[in-house]
């Protein structure tokens, strides 16, 4: 009898060790995204300076198209419920033609050093800002910041000085950053991939190569929107190189039985599922704040994940159409209540110069089609089917949860994916474009997160 007990115990112990999930990393994706066949010669790793430029011909063409714009009258009292309201759009176009100064905004874009380098066959654009001064004995911490759609590297222009020179902006200078903001390939001034299947793992692999090329073997990463997924994939590819991952959006694509049960019962038994009062407020009633909201606000994603080139051709040909498409997202994703306003509330949180600068980056680079293709490349195989979606993230993670994000992810859900969350904060205000809308709030959260990681040297304990 005793022998049988030992045999059973031995079997259980062996099973436990054999079945224990090994910490798995995501393979680096070596690709060639340039035109034609990959050359036999080694890739040139030169990094060269870049400046945004404009010409009179470019501006003349823009103004001609703006002058010839055709507007459709909006339905009475429709506000932004049918998309952008053309009454307000006329005002934007009038400002664009008569007051917006693109040449001045080009100077603003060029105030931070920009560069390009060729990686996996395509030219990668990035902003690279070093601290203006460092206290004696202190070194700057490399921070990769990745934008999403329909944003650009310009989203980070207001937060960069808060991170590279925090003391001058009333923030603690215990941690000072050297900030690298690349344009996702196919966005802004990064060359678009010339081949199919360029997804978030491809972008993460390129940005990993970029950071190594810049001499950063250890770094932090921050992202929202597509930046969330790209930085997440980078944490899965190079967990021993990423000291910490900070997100202002954390979505979970693999929904298990407990997730579904929490949707049904979480409103009534929040403690059972690890929900806090604020989680309940943001999530329920789930039909209204979850399912219906996604159905109402995700039509664009379905188009872009299936036939991006079709609608993209029209947007690439019409600056007014492009502005309408992008501005509606900056309205709704900043605050869903803005749908009830005739001006979409756009100038409550942003100014037209910033909004039009972002649109002009899409217009002058002609990147709207390639930026939309990123949806197809990431979603065409279905949600929850790719390897990175099934892998966890062990890198120390900080999450800033903004109240007006389209979908809320509670910490108890995020914890299933990000197993080492050291900071999760409900932010007091703000929406999807946090770096542009609430740069100080986001900067403060990044600083406190990095402070925790550095103080406890958490990145050194990832494998423990």
* Candidates 165, 175, 225, 343; catalytic one: 225
* Candidates 125, 175, 408, 432; catalytic one: 432
What the block records as the tokens of 128 is: 């690279």
Known catalytic membership, residue 432: yes
Known catalytic membership, residue 279: no
Dihedral of CA atoms 363, 367, 373, 375 in degrees, nearest 10, equals: -70
Contact 153, 182 (CB under 8 A): yes
Helix (H, G, I), strand (E, B) or coil at 333: coil
* Candidates 154, 375, 408, 445; catalytic one: 375
Cis before 182 (ω within 30): no
Residue 413 Cα distances to 232, 417, 463, angstroms: 15, 8, 22
Contact 398, 422 (CB under 8 A): yes
Cis before 420 (ω within 30): no
Contact 227, 214 (CB under 8 A): no
Dihedral of CA atoms 59, 327, 401, 286 in degrees, nearest 10, equals: -160
Residue 444 Cα distances to 95, 350, 365, angstroms: 34, 20, 33
User: How far is it, in rounded angstroms, from Cα 460 to Cα 448?
Assistant: 18
Known catalytic membership, residue 259: no
Residue 369's contacts (CB-CB under 8 Å, 6 or more residues apart) are 308, 309, 312, 313, 315, 316
Residue 96's contacts (CB-CB under 8 Å, 6 or more residues apart) are 66, 319, 323, 356
Cα torsion 46, 47, 48, 52: sign: positive
Alpha helices in 176-266 (DSSP H): 200-213, 226-237, 257-265
Contact 34, 122 (CB under 8 A): yes
Residue 268 Cα distances to 8, 260, 271, angstroms: 42, 14, 9
Contact 245, 397 (CB under 8 A): yes
Q: Which of 31, 248, 17, 196 is nearest to 121 (CA)?
A: 31
Cα 199 from chain centroid? 14
Could you list the active site residues? 225, 375, 432
């Amino acid at each position: 009898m005793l022998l049988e007990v030992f045999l059973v115990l031995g079997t259980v112990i062996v099973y436990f060790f054999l079945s224990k999930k090994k910490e798995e990393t995501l393979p680096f994706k070596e690709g060639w995204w340039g035109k034609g066949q990959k050359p036999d010669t080694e890739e040139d790793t030169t990094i060269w300076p870049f400046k945004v430029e404009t010409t009179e011909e470019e501006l003349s063409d823009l103004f001609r198209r703006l002058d010839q714009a055709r507007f459709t009258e909006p339905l009475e009292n429709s506000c932004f419920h049918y998309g952008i309201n053309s009454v307000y759009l006329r005002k934007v176009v009038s400002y664009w033609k008569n007051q917006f100064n693109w040449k001045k905004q080009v100077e603003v874009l060029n105030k931070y050093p920009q560069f390009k380098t060729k990686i996996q066959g395509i030219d990668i654009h990035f902003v690279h800002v070093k601290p203006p001064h460092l206290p004696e004995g202190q070194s700057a911490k490399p921070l990769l910041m990745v934008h999403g759609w329909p944003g650009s590297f310009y989203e980070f222009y207001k937060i960069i000085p808060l991170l590279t020179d925090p003391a001058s902006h009333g923030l603690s200078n215990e941690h000072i950053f050297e900030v690298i903001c690349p344009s996702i390939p196919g966005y802004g001034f990064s060359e678009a991939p010339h081949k199919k299947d360029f997804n978030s793992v491809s972008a993460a692999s390129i940005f990993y190569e970029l950071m190594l090329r810049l001499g950063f073997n250890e770094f932090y990463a921050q992202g929202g929107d597509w930046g969330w997924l790209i930085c997440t994939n980078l944490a899965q590819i190079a967990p021993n190189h990423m000291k910490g991952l900070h997100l202002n959006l954390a979505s979970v694509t693999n929904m298990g039985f407990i997730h579904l049960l929490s949707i049904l019962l979480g409103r009534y038994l929040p403690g059972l599922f690890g929900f806090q009062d604020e989680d309940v407020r943001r999530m329920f009633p789930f039909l209204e704040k979850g399912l219906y909201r996604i159905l109402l606000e995700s039509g664009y994603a379905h188009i872009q994940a299936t036939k991006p080139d079709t609608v993209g051709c029209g947007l690439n040909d019409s600056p007014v159409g492009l502005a309408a498409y992008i501005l509606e997202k900056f309205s709704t994703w900043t605050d869903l209540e803005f749908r009830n306003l005739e001006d979409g509330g756009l100038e409550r949180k942003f100014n037209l110069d910033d909004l039009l600068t972002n649109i002009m980056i899409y217009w002058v680079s002609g990147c709207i089609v390639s930026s939309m293709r990123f949806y197809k490349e990431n979603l065409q195989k279905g949600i929850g089917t790719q390897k990175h979606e099934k892998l966890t993230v062990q890198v120390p993670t900080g999450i800033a949860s903004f109240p007006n994000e389209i979908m809320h992810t509670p910490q108890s859900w995020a914890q299933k994916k990000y197993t080492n969350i050291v900071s999760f904060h409900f932010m007091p205000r703000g929406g999807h474009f946090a770096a542009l809308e609430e740069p100080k709030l986001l900067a403060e959260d990044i600083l406190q997160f990095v402070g925790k990681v550095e103080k406890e040297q958490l990145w050194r304990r990832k494998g423990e």
